[in-house]
Structure 1
Amino acid sequence: MSNTPYPDKPRPKPVGKRPVPAFFGTLWRMAVVYFAWPLTIAIVWLNKHLGLPKWLGSNLREFGIRLWGLFWLTFVWVLLWGDVTWGNIIVGFVIGVIVLSVLPLPRIPVEGRIHPLAALNLLISLIVNFLISSAQVAWAAVRPGPPPLGCVVRVHLAIKSDLVLTLAVDYINLVPGTMVVEIDHVHRILYIHVFDVRTQKQVDHFHKQMAYVERQFIKAFERDSEWHPSPYHGIDDDYHHVPYTDRRRVAEADATNRRVRRNRKERADQ
């Protein structure tokens, strides 16, 4: 006979996570507390207090963008030569500096916020549409009968950002059977050539597909609650041909917006 009380009663299971999930959970919390959060504070502090010359971008964000562009151009140069050597890396770096200095690109206004899960859903829908459209185009090429009949469909998109509109056009062009042939930038209207469209029902189905793509792009990049028009929004001409008065107006509007946001933050902190 056992001396322990209640010998037939099962022992209670320990409460809490198992050792392996508990270890990774602790590791994740330590990474956030001791690495990610101090790094974020340091980046914010440097962005506020570090003054960079104009040729470096004037602020930390622009400097990071130009540094990334420099690394990318260096990588492309080495990739073109097909041999990773110190000579190719140095020459690519120098050529990247020359390209960014002599041929600077205009600023890309960031006017929304990316949502990773919605962007992932958009990527999955692109892959699915790519596979389905590839099969449809392949079948239309080998099936007996008259040749496929194509048409140009006009589609209006409620996308405000030029960057997101460009991504939407790339999405459409990547799917076999569709090609954007003209863009009405002012009215946000796309003229899309669609492969093998014979009935009005097929045209209506294509409009439904474009409406779905439009909703996915807005959900991933341009939600109304997070939309902040950039002062650069609307200046779509070649950067080097924009008059100085327009550039000055944009710079003053940008400074005013930053000052207003800073004042609002200070009042909220008080």
Structure 2
Amino acid sequence: MSNTPYPERPRAKSVGKNPVARFFGTLWRLAVLWFAWPTTNLIVWLSQNLKFPVWAGGDLREVAMRLWGVAWLTFVWVLLWGEVTWTNIIVGIVFAVLVMVLLPLPRVPIEGRVHPLAAAKLLLTLIGSFMVSSAQVAWAAVKPGPPPLGAVVRVHLAIKSDLVLTLAIDYINLVPGTMVVEIDHLRRMLYIHIFDVRKQSQIDSFYRTMAYVERQFIKAFERDSEWHPSPFHGVDDDYHHVPFSDRRRVADEERHASQGRLRRRLRGE
């Protein structure tokens, strides 16, 4: 039996992050522990204990919103002049303060909750509708034959929030070939001009599109389970004349559409 000692086995290398990744990972954790958390506690303490005069807003959130308004109006002023100088910035701040003090806008209530995935789907739908409608308008402008036949149709949207209704109107106006020409605010009725409605199928397609837009805006911004009327003016279903049956209709249409998609998927269509 040989007395030769066993050769020393090579040590296994530790498997893990490289030094650069470990450094930035540690730096991120330290930033959370030593900066973000104390900063959050400071903001909460200031909002609970710091008192602001009534003319400045009364609380930290209102002061922050007013400072943001001054900053935005100043940015617009400098943008209009087209040159970033201290004179334009100072004059912009002065005009921004005067506008917010002498011409205050009514408060816009936030009464629902934003769902990012549903909002992203709505944005993608807007981009797709924009491309399709642009192609349709361009083809109608160059093809031979009689000019397109336009019409104004009436559409009811079961949307309760003024802010969400404004977003829906902007959505409709951004799509080529459609334009909101009149709004019945109390009954939530829109009168929309359509570019080409020579066939009944085009009108039916437009109403289906409006029903889809209505469902998507409700899913993205004001689901019934998360609806909290604003305390500023007491917005509710009765105020906006949006009966529960219309909201239920939107939910039933969405459920039927989901069931139809599921059946088609099971049939392999």
- One-letter amino acid of the structure 1 residue matched with residue 200 of structure 2: Q
Once residues 141 and 193 of structure 1 are traced to their aligned partners in structure 2, the CA distance between those partners, rounded to angstroms, is 17
User: What is the identity, as a one-letter code, of the residue corresponding to 1:183?
Assistant: I
Q: TM-score, normalised by structure 1?
A: 0.75
Query: Secondary structure in 1 aligned to 2:148?
Result: coil
What is the CA-CA distance between 1:233 and the residue it aligns to? Answer: 3.6
Matched, 1:93 2:75: no
How many residues align? The count is 229
- 1:2-151 equivalence runs, <5 A: 14=15, 30-151=30-151
| Matches of 1:154 and 1:28, distance apart in 2 | 55
Q: 1:90 to 1:31 in 2, by over 3 A?
A: same
Cα gap change, 1:96 to 1:171, in 2 (>3 Å)? same
**Alpha-carbon distance in structure 2 between the residues aligned to 1:207 and 1:63:** 44
Q: Which runs of 5+ in 2 are unaligned?
A: 1-5, 236-269
SS across alignment from 1:231: coil
Tell me the SS of whatever aligns to 1:152.
Answer: strand
**SS of 2:68 mapped into structure 1:** helix
Q: Which has the larger radius of gyration?
A: 2
Whole-angstrom CA distance in 1 between matches of 2:26 and 2:172: 44
Distance 1:78 1:148, change over 3 A: same
Moved more, 213-222 or 39-48: 39-48
Q: Per-residue deviation at 1:192?
A: 0.8
Aligned CA distance change for structure 1 residues 23 and 148 (closer, same or farther; 3 Å)? farther
> CA, structure 1 residues 118+58, in 2 after alignment: closer, same or farther (shift >3 Å)?
same
Q: Where does the alignment leave 5 or more consecutive residues of structure 1 unmatched? A: 6-10, 236-270
Counterpart amino acid of 2:214? E
Q: Which amino acid aligns with 2:173?
A: N
Aligned-residue offset at 1:176: 0.7
Give 1:140 shift.
Answer: 0.6
Q: CA–CA distance in 1 between the matches of 2:152 and 2:25?
A: 54
Range moving further from structure 2, 132-141 or 198-207: 198-207
- SS of the equivalent of 1:191 reads strand
The 2-side partners of 1:42 and 1:216 are apart by 38
Question: CA RMSD, aligned part only?
Answer: 2.6
Aligned to 2:258: none
* Percent of paired sites with the same residue: 71
Give the whole-Å Cα distance in 1 for the aligned partners of 2:155 and 2:21.
49
